Structure 1
Amino acid sequence: MSDDLTQAAVAVRKKAYAPYSRFLVGAAIRSDIGLHAGCNVENAAFPQGSCAEAGAISVMIAAGGKRIQEVVIAGGGEAPCTPCGGCRQRLREFASPDLVIRIVGAEGEPRLVRTLAELLPDSFGPDHLV
């Protein structure tokens, strides 16, 4: 775990609020203005929780960022913790299909690398509305 984006994803994962699933997730984004991180936050009304990617995007927007350049997602378990369908679309709102998304384990060990196009083929984005 040598790069700052992976370190940020792993560190923020440890701050996740997941008392029900105990499944902690951290996401770190490099944007046009810097690094932003977010973690998952669960809620007793289960559908009301928020994903780590959504949190990181919110932090980016609040800081004035506009474009996502790179993403690292840190999750536990044996399988790679890929973004849910909703977060794939959220990422697409602020990134192009060639965005590189790195998935790492709880301690930053590499698990999977995909582009957004590989995770969300034939996506619909803001450029379709112009």
Structure 2
Amino acid sequence: MKAAAALFMTASILSADITINDIDRLVTDIKQERIGLTEKQIQTAKDPFIYPNGKLGRLLHAGKNKKRRYRFVLSAIINDHVKLNRKWYRLNSKVHGYKVSKVGKNYVLLTRNNERVRVFLKRSKSKKIKLLVK
């Protein structure tokens, strides 16, 4: 397979009408310094993006006062242990600054200062697993 590829490459190079001088000319063309925009032109350039609802400006700049939001996914509850975001925690543990305050039958209550977040169990689309207690 490699020999066939090498043979094909050699045949295609020999059949091409490219000389060493052509290759040297292409290399010198590539090496030429390109002149781009000046700093003033960059600063005064119009934003090329279209934003939803006609809002202009940069969406990536976040203010210092914005709170960081976490997405919690509760996938299991066993006694006072919970599986949040693929990690196991127990009652009174800390999760991204939140405290696991209460573990219910199908939810967990997370608290931080005066903020409360109740996360419910994620419903499984597959019902193949059933736990039976004797």
- TM class, shorter-chain normalised? under 0.3
State the TM-score, normalized to the length of structure 1: 0.24
Answer with 1 or 2: which has the greater Rg. 2
Q: From the two aligned structures, give the one with the greater helix fraction.
A: 1
Higher normalized contact order (CA 8 Å, seq sep 6+, divided by chain length): 1
TM-score (norm 2): 0.23
